[in-house]
Amino acid sequence: MTAVAELRKTVASLHRELTRYGLVSWTAGNVSARVPGAGLMVIKPSGVSYDDLGPDAMVVTDLNGELVEGELAPSSDTAAHAYVYRHLPEVGGVAHTHSPYATAWAARGEPIPCVLTMIADEFGGDIPVGPFALIGDDSIGRGIVETLRGSRSPAVLMRNHGPFTVGADARAAVKAAVLVEDVARTVHFAHQLGTPDAIDPQHVDRLYARYRNVYGQ
Amino acid sequence: MTAVAELRKTVASLHRELTRYGLVSWTAGNVSARVPGAGLMVIKPSGVSYDDLGPDAMVVTDLNGELVEGELAPSSDTAAHAYVYRHLPEVGGVAHTHSPYATAWAARGEPIPCVLTMIADEFGGDIPVGPFALIGDDSIGRGIVETLRGSRSPAVLMRNHGPFTVGADARAAVKAAVLVEDVARTVHFAHQLGTPDAIDPQHVDRLYARYRNVYGQ
Amino acid sequence: MTAVAELRKTVASLHRELTRYGLVSWTAGNVSARVPGAGLMVIKPSGVSYDDLGPDAMVVTDLNGELVEGELAPSSDTAAHAYVYRHLPEVGGVAHTHSPYATAWAARGEPIPCVLTMIADEFGGDIPVGPFALIGDDSIGRGIVETLRGSRSPAVLMRNHGPFTVGADARAAVKAAVLVEDVARTVHFAHQLGTPDAIDPQHVDRLYARYRNVYGQ
Amino acid sequence: MTAVAELRKTVASLHRELTRYGLVSWTAGNVSARVPGAGLMVIKPSGVSYDDLGPDAMVVTDLNGELVEGELAPSSDTAAHAYVYRHLPEVGGVAHTHSPYATAWAARGEPIPCVLTMIADEFGGDIPVGPFALIGDDSIGRGIVETLRGSRSPAVLMRNHGPFTVGADARAAVKAAVLVEDVARTVHFAHQLGTPDAIDPQHVDRLYARYRNVYGQ
């Protein structure tokens, strides 16, 4: 199977994680993967039901978002994904949802404070807020890239909009999308009845380093 | 297949979206579709389990709510659907649920403020509240129509009752029912820990226009 | 099929509604049905996984809770169900859960106020609170019966414990268990951000009467 | 089947209860079982998807956490499980999740007060908080053991981290993980709109004793 064919399968199946964890409603939300070394990306088509997102429905664009392969129009967030791939060469995957708890923090423009070991592990500190940006040009992409450059977090909460997440590949970006909602929710609950203590920054560093180096297979 | 047979299938399958997204409990909630050019509508029967809502269970009424075809009594909200079709000729579908977050805003009689790009996209501004109205005559239908005429929103939060949504067809009405609950929930969460900024009305207009013209296939 | 065999099937399948709507965790919760004219009831066994609750797992007891048929020990709430059947002859089914929102109102000892048309329809007014009662004798049953006698509601919120619901048959009792959680949740959400207006008692009466006489098939 | 083979099956299937009840996201969370009399335990591998957790994926370690059998690296929480087995000989199973409501109490460092009969039944009183502890040595295990020794509760809320639960076998530990989230959620809801009364300690004792001796088969 070619790299593109393989990535069509991967990206299609990762969209099922968005519905499994309740991160998306109707046709909102999207995942993409960079095609390594090819100047291309594989992304979800615009406005198609999650039930119909098989590998063949995925579309391929160049890194300016121009359609290269596929019969459907690409996601309306394609320009933002493309901007990220052009400016962050280490990123191999991008995910975007309007998951409810993360989007509530985004609506208030408040970073999610690092009060859980899971936040230290996966995000390495507070989860930052990006600017309000209109769709239609490079504003969203620029807001994502500028915010992520100042942070270890693979997630940014775009103001009044929702989370965008990145990773070394599409699976890592989707993992960050799942975990940003998980911790956004738990910290929301914690704040409803009090104010949890932040984890000491030195402990955050140790947890973050260990999770990168020891966790998993 | 005749237009009515086709719409029986469509309306039956759209009821599955209400359960998929957790918008309804037991037998509450209903979807209808106008039969174009026929002065008829296809609607859910009253008080039947969602497990039993196949195409044959749907009923056909005229636009005064009188039964034309089908063995079951039509939804107890039939008069409200019929009133909407009689007074809003551009509407081809109506949906009604008691989805919990939207109904909580309805219980307080508070519009959902336009603090998310998704609200600007789909609803074009704040989501309005309709009056308290008793079932049994045209009060509910009249409250829906009068409220929607003053708004770009396809959703109205009927006071102490729940959301009604409309669309060019039944699928669009159900989409609005799914999204009104999604944004009602996210804005509820946002308000629990602060007050999100409203989106600038000029930005709302641009988002709304773009979503109508660019999004989807 | 005998009446008992039929009710074993019905009661077993109604337990699936408790898990479908998320009303129960692990083995908590139970449904029973009176065997008409026989001085018997069919009830869930104690501490058995919901995956294993087929018709054969159900047990039959007399109306003092003594085992008559079945290989498993009856639900630890059998005495409460039996007390209800002995003292409320119009009741044909009883359900009990610890569904989270209804139990939260029960924990605070606050009735759920009638601020939704769905509450007026199904419960005919506020949903009342019963006393704190220990398991092991007739205290819980007596608390249920005394509270329900002062109300049109088929649901009582037993203090620090959870809801018990009754109905003309087991299906109606389970319906009330589903709807009490639904409205407990929506009114909880409404109260988190304000205080909804109560529905005028005259309107409550009209809604309640209509729902009894017009709704359904 | 050998005891180890049997426990691989049991532990694998118990992980499905964690996903069924929404206690875990992605690959977080883990269950283990002591192999009776063998100085060994069966535990989940690290960072493996819940879809892939069949019996063969489980790993066997000694009670210092050293791998004895299996092709995958054991859970990153293995040291904590091992510490519990070395110091609490009556414990046959351990479970750990980041379930959202229990973790919110843990983030604030607040015990869950005994305001529900279900808490009295299963936990015998307030559910206690353990210390903040870094992963990588015996700190987490020590915090769990010291906290549980001062309580009848099979659950401890590890500060800024999440719940650990124990039981006579792995199934009992998972049951406690399910129920600690259930009651954490209900008491969270109760506290959002008021302060529920605590249950009288004498009543707690009677409920706890009865649940141990009468409930179940």
| CATH code for the domain of B115 | 3.40.225.10
**Total domain count for chain A?**
1
Best of A115, A186, A199 to mutate (most D CBs within 10 Å, chain D):
A186
- For chain C, report the end-to-end CA distance as a whole number of angstroms: 26
**Quick check: D136 and A206 CB within 8 A?**
yes
Q: What is the domain range of residue C25?
A: 2-213
Place of tokens 């129920």: D179
Contact status of A210 with chain B (Cβ, < 8 Å): no
Contact status of C55 with chain B (Cβ, < 8 Å): no
Residue B179 has pLDDT above 90, yes or no: yes
Give the C-alpha distances (Å, rounded to integers) separating D83 from A192, A209, D129, D147, D156: 34, 23, 18, 13, 15
Overall average pLDDT of the B138-163 stretch: 97
- Strand-strand pairing, B129-130 and B155-158: parallel
Backbone angles phi, psi at B67, to 5 degrees: -65, 130
Q: Which two tokens stand for residue B24?
A: 């309804």
How many angstroms separate the CA atoms of D123 and D152, rounded?
6
Place of tokens 């479908």: C20
DSSP state of A113: P
How many angstroms separate the CA atoms of C125 and B57, rounded?
32
Q: Chain C residues with CB inside 8 Å of B27's CB?
A: 216
How many angstroms separate the CA atoms of D27 and D75, rounded?
10
pLDDT cut 90: percent of chain A above it: 95
Beta strand extents in A49-104 (DSSP E only) = 59-62, 67-69, 93-96
Q: Which two tokens stand for residue A171?
A: 């699976």
- Strand-strand pairing, B30-35 and B93-96: antiparallel
| pLDDT band at residue C215 using 50, 70 and 90 as cut-offs | confident
The answer to whether D96 touches D162, Cβ cutoff 8 Å, is yes
**Quick check: C185 and B100 CB within 8 A?**
yes
pLDDT tens string, chain D, 217 residues long: the values are: 799 999 999 999 999 999 999 999 999 999 999 999 999 999 999 999 999 999 999 999 999 999 999 999 999 999 999 999 999 999 999 999 999 999 999 999 999 999 999 999 999 999 999 999 999 899 999 999 999 998 999 999 999 999 999 999 999 999 999 999 999 999 999 999 999 999 999 999 999 999 998 888 8
**ipTM greater than 0.85:** yes
For residue B43, give the amino acid letter: I
- For chain B, report the end-to-end CA distance as a whole number of angstroms: 26
For residue A141, give the amino acid letter: G
Q: What is the pLDDT of residue B28?
A: 96
Contact status of B196 with chain C (Cβ, < 8 Å): no
**Quick check: D192 and A193 CB within 8 A?**
yes
Which residue of D21, D186, D216 is in closest CB contact with C104? D186
Long-range (24+ apart) CB contacts under 8 A made by C47-52 are C47/C76, C47/D215, C47/D216, C47/D217, C48/C72, C48/D217, C50/C15, C50/C16, C50/C18, C50/C19, C50/C24
pLDDT cut 70: percent of chain B above it: 100
How many angstroms separate the CA atoms of C177 and C167, rounded?
10
Backbone angles phi, psi at A28, to 5 degrees: -70, 155
Q: Chain B residues with CB inside 8 Å of A77's CB?
A: none
Residue A10 has pLDDT above 90, yes or no: yes
Collapsing DSSP to helix, strand or coil, A155 comes out as strand
| pLDDT band at residue C217 using 50, 70 and 90 as cut-offs | confident
Overall average pLDDT of the A60-89 stretch: 97
Which residue of B45, B104, B132 is in closest CB contact with C186? B104
How many angstroms separate the CA atoms of C185 and C191, rounded?
10
**Quick check: B104 and C190 CB within 8 A?**
yes
Q: What is the pLDDT of residue C144?
A: 98
Dihedral (CA of D40, D45, D50, D51) sign: negative
Q: Which two tokens stand for residue C134?
A: 């220990």
How many angstroms separate the CA atoms of B53 and D79, rounded?
53
Which residue of B194, B207, B214 is in closest CB contact with A134? B207
Q: What is the tens place of the pLDDT at every residue in A36-49?
A: 999 999 999 999 99
C204 sits in which H/E element: helix C201-213
Conformational region of residue D44, where left means phi above 0, alpha means psi within -120 to 50, and beta covers everything else: beta
Q: What is the pLDDT of residue B215?
A: 81
Q: What is the pLDDT of residue C118?
A: 98
Long-range (24+ apart) CB contacts under 8 A made by D145-149 are D145/D83, D145/D84, D145/D87, D145/D88, D148/D88
Best of B46, B108, B164, B186 to mutate (most C CBs within 10 Å, chain C):
B108
Place of tokens 């955050």: A204
**Quick check: B193 and A104 CB within 8 A?**
yes
Q: What is the pLDDT of residue A116?
A: 98
Q: What is the pLDDT of residue A214?
A: 82
Q: What is the pLDDT of residue A190?
A: 98
Task: Report helix, strand and coil shares of chain A as percent, to nearest 5.
Answer: 45, 15, 40
Q: What is the tens place of the pLDDT at every residue in A122-175?
A: 999 999 999 999 998 999 999 999 999 989 999 999 999 999 999 999 999 999
Which residue of B26, B73, B104 is in closest CB contact with C175? B26
**Quick check: D186 and C103 CB within 8 A?**
yes
How many angstroms separate the CA atoms of D98 and D104, rounded?
9
How many angstroms separate the CA atoms of D119 and D100, rounded?
18
Dihedral (CA of D101, A25, A131, B116) sign: negative
DSSP sequence for C38-54? TTEEEEPBTT--GGG--
- For chain A, report the end-to-end CA distance as a whole number of angstroms: 26
Dihedral (CA of D42, D46, D50, D52) sign: negative
How many angstroms separate the CA atoms of D127 and D110, rounded?
9
**Quick check: C134 and D207 CB within 8 A?**
yes
Give the C-alpha distances (Å, rounded to integers) separating C34 from A97, B43, C8, C94: 49, 36, 11, 9
Closest residue in chain D to residue A101, using alpha carbons only:
D100
